[in-house]
A and B are shown apart, each in its own frame.
Chain A
Amino acid sequence: MLEVKGLVAGYAGSEVLHGIDLEVNEGEGVIVLGPNGHGKSTLLRAVTGLLSPRAGQVLLDGKDITRWRPDAIAAAGLVHIPQGDLLFPEMTVTENLLMGAYHGPTWSERSARLGRVYELFPWLKERGGQLARTLSGGERRMLALGRGLMSKAKLLLIDEPSLGLAPLTTQQIYASIHKVKESGLSLLIADENANHVAGLADRVYLLETGSLVRQGPADELLRDKALLESYLG
């Protein structure tokens, strides 16, 4: 479904990704594991158009979307839940969720979608009228996930789902991502902790200083403790 070929990207003066080849198939859970600062966020941002790639291709269902604007890529079904949540601070919880369904065809189904997100995070319903900027870190993460789920995504890209969260909240977040996975949605998750993603992953890529150095089935790679230790420390 998603194919990334020879992707090169970076920031003024520094190349961060040096030719990434990666794919995600229908219904698959793919994890990009890599330590802090090795280019996970840069990869997701280059795929969803927030960062313009210098070379390489991004294909969605065979269609080249490499230089599309982020809103067009989102409309096409690649929905990115960014690092740091990036909520709309002066909007209520419900309004934030509704914006997730902005895309035309999805907007008409917003009520049904709200219902599904409330099932996953009942808490969001209770706090519907609260402004996003008043939420705690864990609450924000749930809202960011819920907002992404309001869309009609083909593939959800989640950047470090547990960044900055307490262990208990971390567990809750991964448990809900599990349910999302079971509903059949394809996932591409960037993470730096192999333990978190064990049950979610079908395939794993290891990212080191901007290059994918290993890839393989999750049950193989994630069991290789010695390998993981050498990469993730």
Chain B
Amino acid sequence: MSTQFVQAVWGGILFGSVYGLMALGLTLVWGAVRLLNLAHGAIFVVGSYVAFFVVSKLNLPILVALPIGVLAAAAFAYLMHLIFIRPVIGKPGFDNSTLIATVGISIAVSAAAILIFNPEYKVIPPIISGNFTLSDVQITKQGLLVIGTSLALFALVYLFLTYTRRGMAIRAVSQQQEAASLMAIPVVRTYGMVIAISGALAGLAGVLLSPFFFLNPNSGFNPMIQALIVTIFGGLGSVRGALVAGFVLGIFESFVEVYYGVAWAQPGVFLLIILMLIVRPNGLFGIGEVRRL
């Protein structure tokens, strides 16, 4: 196998699992709450900075910082729900006000990160360091960890939604909210739970990815845009779609990058998406206007 090919496959699988991990949280929130959470990248940043703080200021190991960062991101997302989402649930201006609120939160988080830390790039250590080579391509162990974590989380979320009482309740709320409330399912609390889970996923992505991309006050932006693209490609609200689309786009992007150069990667991805949306306007797994969990 040529080095280029191995490089493209490895990069594609790595990108794909990163995109999928970010898209999973977005698609869950869209599917259940019908909220386009543009603060998803900000939550990613909150998780990474908290982990950075724990590692560099408290001098604790990254394995301790990881769960703290994840919990902080979940708590931040839940707080966002309490303050900005919950008060407008069921009100006519829900879409507009939450869109503005989540953009506002993103701006506030990056400003806060500049004030508290500074705009310089930060480094978070990997959970596992080291690498080995395969056909002259460097395979980092952290990369393998990211891929494994992403796949495991997709499996976990799938099992949770399919087989547990609360997971099934999330699907019920997402498919027929009124009936869910008549079955004694607390709809608003379920929203809060989904938003917190999504926040935890974003925070985890933040801590795991920062060793690759470094950390700065806006480092959540690109992953979120990629995740939005993946979510739209896979079908808003579809968990399976987020997984498949994450890998399709990641591998596609990686091949374009390796064979045609970095400059073609983004335009190539957009071209693919535009073509796909012409053929399937609701995304790969979107059925009809609404695809529910």
Residues of A that sit less than 8 Å from B by CB: 48-50, 69-72, 74-75, 79-80, 82, 86-91, 95, 98-100, 102-103, 107, 147, 151
Question: Given the complex, which residues of A lie within 8 Å of B183, measured CB to CB?
Answer: 71, 74, 99-100, 102-103, 147, 151
Would you call A151 and B184 a contact (CB within 8 A)? Answer: yes
Minimum C-beta distance from A152 to chain B (A): 10
Interchain nearest-CB distance for B282 vs A (Å) = 14
Knowing A71-B187, A90-B292, A102-B165, say if A79 contacts B172 (CB, 8 Å).
Answer: no
Inter-subunit contact B185/A95 (CB<8 Å): no
Contact partners of B182 in chain A: CB under 8 A: 48, 50, 70-71, 74, 79-80, 82, 86
Query: Does B178 lie within 8 Å of A99, measured CB to CB?
Result: no
Residue from the list A69, A88, A100 in contact with B175, Cβ < 8 A: A88
Binding site for A on B (CB under 8 A): 165, 168-169, 171-172, 175-176, 178-187, 292-293
B293 — which chain A residues lie within 8 A by C-beta?
90
- Complex CA gap A2/B236 in Å reads 43
Main secondary structure of the interface of B (DSSP, over half): helix
- A223 and B190 alpha carbons, distance in the complex (Å): 49
Q: Which residues of B lie under 8 Å from residue A79 when comparing CB positions?
A: 182
Interface centre among A48, A70, A100, A107 (most CB of B within 10 A): A70
- A50 proximity list for chain B (CB < 8 A): 178, 181-182
Contact status of A82 and B181, CB under 8 A, knowing A91-B172, A98-B168, A102-B165 = no
A99 to B182 CA separation, bound complex (whole angstroms): 10
Q: How far is it, in angstroms, between the C-alpha of A95 and the C-alpha of B176 when the chains are bound?
A: 13
Tell whether, in the assembled complex, residue A99 and residue B181 are in contact, meaning their CB atoms are under 8 Å apart: no
Asked, given contacts A74-B181, A151-B183, whether A87 binds B176 with beta carbons under 8 Å apart, the answer is yes
Top 8 A-B residue pairs of the complex, sorted by shortest distance between their CB atoms: A86-B179, A74-B184, A70-B181, A103-B184, A75-B184, A88-B175, A71-B186, A71-B181
Q: Closest Cβ of chain A: how far from B205's Cβ, in Å? A: 27
Give the chain B neighbours of A82 by CB distance below 8 A: 178-179, 182
Q: Of B171, B178, B181, B186, which is within 8 A of A91 by CB? A: B171
Q: What A residues does B176 contact at CB under 8 A? A: 86-89
A102 touches B169 (CB 8 A): yes
B184 to chain A, nearest CB (A): 4
Known contacts A82-B179, A91-B172, A102-B185; 18 further A-B pairs (Cβ under 8 A)? A49-B181, A50-B181, A70-B182, A71-B186, A71-B187, A74-B181, A82-B178, A82-B182, A86-B179, A87-B179, A88-B171, A88-B179, A88-B180, A91-B175, A99-B185, A102-B165, A103-B183, A147-B183
Please judge, given known A-B contacts A82-B178, A89-B175, A90-B175, whether A99 and B169 are in contact too, CB under 8 Å: yes
Neighbouring B residues of A100 by C-beta, 8 Å? 183
A107 to B182, CA, bound (A): 15
User: What are 5 A-B contacts defined by CB distance under 8 Å?
Assistant: A70-B178, A89-B176, A90-B292, A98-B168, A102-B165
A103 to chain B: closest residue by CB: B184
**Complex: how many Å from CA A87 to CA B180?**
9
Q: How far is the CB of B286 from chain A (nearest CB, A)?
A: 13
- Complex interface: chain B residues within 8 A of A95 (CB): 168, 171
